Structure 1
Amino acid sequence: MLKTLPLCLCAAALALGGCGQSGSDNNGAAAQPGEAIKAAGDKTLAASIDQNGKFFQAAKAVGLDATLAGPGPYTLLVPSDDAFSKLEGDKLKDPTNPQNRAEITRILTYHILPGVILADDIGTAIDNGKGKAVLATMGGQTVTATKDGGKIVFTGGGTSKATVTQADMKATNGVIHNVDSVLTPPAGDSASGAKQGQ
């Protein structure tokens, strides 16, 4: 279905993302640049991620692997295993524990963005947004994208930041950007992410 959508829809999405903002204020404006672009590749997002990696193991434990194998499309921000190891507390340490399911789902859905958003699209949205772009997540929150020395940086709730280390790994149902840190959702919003994983 997405094959028939013209690329001009991407430009329209970018234009609309910038139109609703006045000055440099992006408050709550969740632009999704490039969501009309069709992904490529011969494997799904679920099959493209390291099956032994901590992100996939956590996703599988809470049932999000089925979502990532579905039609999508999604943009996936995948933290490195080192990033998971550095995460404070026990949030993702034991993904098989049913008591951790809601919090793990909330964190993982914070790393899934609806639509296909390539690095160039994010960069253009940042430029159009006068230095930042606010993007909606599957969990119902937003992340803010900025640039630092030519690299794309996502800022989550609180002070969590993740820099893109490898971008635009395309799958049949979306695209993957590897990041160097785990983003934490805003505090006090545990319900919306949990609903997504059920």
Structure 2
Amino acid sequence: MNKRALSLALAAGVLALAGCNSQNQAHKDEASKGSEAVKQAGDKTIAAGLDQNGSFFKAAKAAGLDSTLAGPGPYTVIVPDDAAFAKLPQGELDSWMKPESRAELTRVMTNHILPGTVLAADIGKAIDDGKGKALLATMGGGTLTATREGDNIVLTDGAGNKATMANADETLANGVIHHVDGVLMPAKKA
């Protein structure tokens, strides 16, 4: 390799590395905001912060996710209220709670969990940066689309079901809970 080609390759490498570092720093800055909120939350975990008699906690327990939500995290958990579960077709939640349906229940529940601590402001910024929408990857391998309707953040699943954030940023020791008014289903298996 001649000197000029080597110099150009080195310069390109330095520029690429600088770009990665500034991008990584932006991600670290955003993550530190959520992490700081989690530090201020004390010792109460997401599992302990959920309504122990609520449909979401009962379903999380049936799926074996209660111990995960009591673990170190951090997680962002999108919790449908009991009224949202009541809107499901009659008997669907009861069917999911059966041991033979644990895999399907787990798919539904992990569609409500995001890795890391993602505050409502982070989602709002992602929507703004995405020119009106942001894609959020779930722990279940799905994608939720975040948009705004007026002042509200609305999450849409792969089937087009929508859930509006009603109470966001309940910060706990291992992450954050956002309460929503709808159950977000995973995409149908191909």
Normalising to structure 2: TM-score of the pair?
0.80
Give the corresponding residue for 2:3: none
Alignment of 1:147-158 (within 5 A): 147-158=148-159
**Mapped contact 2:97–2:105 kept (Cα < 8 A):** no
Give the corresponding residue for 2:41: 41
**Mapped contact 1:116–1:175 kept (Cα < 8 A):** yes
Q: Deviating runs (4+, > 6 A) in structure 1?
A: 8-11
**Mapped contact 2:74–2:117 kept (Cα < 8 A):** yes
1:159 partnered with 2:160: yes
Give the corresponding residue for 1:186: 187
Q: Measure how far apart 1:62 and its partner are.
A: 1.5
In structure 1, list runs of 5 or more residues that go unmatched: 1-7, 15-32, 190-198
Give the corresponding residue for 1:78: 79
User: Cα gap change, 1:64/1:107 in structure 2, threshold over 3 Å: closer, same or farther?
Assistant: same
Equivalent position amino acid for 2:171 in 1: K
Name the larger-Rg structure.
2
Give the corresponding residue for 2:175: 174
User: Once the two structures are superposed, what CA deviation does each residue of 1:23-71 show, in whole Å capped at 9, x if it has no partner?
Assistant: xxxxxxxxxx944421142310000000000000011111100000001
Number of aligned residue pairs: 164
Q: Measure how far apart 1:167 and its partner are.
A: 0.5
Normalising to structure 1: TM-score of the pair?
0.77
Give the corresponding residue for 2:127: 126
Which range moved further: 83-92 or 52-61? 83-92
- Higher helix fraction (1 or 2): 2
Equivalent position SS for 2:94:
coil
Equivalent position SS for 1:41:
coil
In 1, the alpha carbon distance for the partners of 2:65 and 2:179 equals: 18
Equivalent position SS for 2:89:
coil
Which range moved further: 148-157 or 84-93? 84-93
Q: Percent identity?
A: 55
Equivalent position SS for 2:59:
helix
C-alpha RMSD of the superposition = 2.1
1:115 partnered with 2:116: yes
Equivalent position amino acid for 2:125 in 1: T
In 1, the alpha carbon distance for the partners of 2:155 and 2:24 equals: 21
Equivalent position SS for 2:48:
helix
User: Once the two structures are superposed, what CA deviation does each residue of 1:147-176 show, in whole Å capped at 9, x if it has no partner?
Assistant: 001100000021211000000000000000
In 2, the alpha carbon distance for the partners of 1:11 and 1:80 equals: 36
In 1, the alpha carbon distance for the partners of 2:110 and 2:23 equals: 26
**Mapped contact 1:158–1:184 kept (Cα < 8 A):** yes
Give the corresponding residue for 2:27: 13
In structure 2, list runs of 5 or more residues that go unmatched: 1-21
User: Cα gap change, 1:120/1:35 in structure 2, threshold over 3 Å: closer, same or farther?
Assistant: same
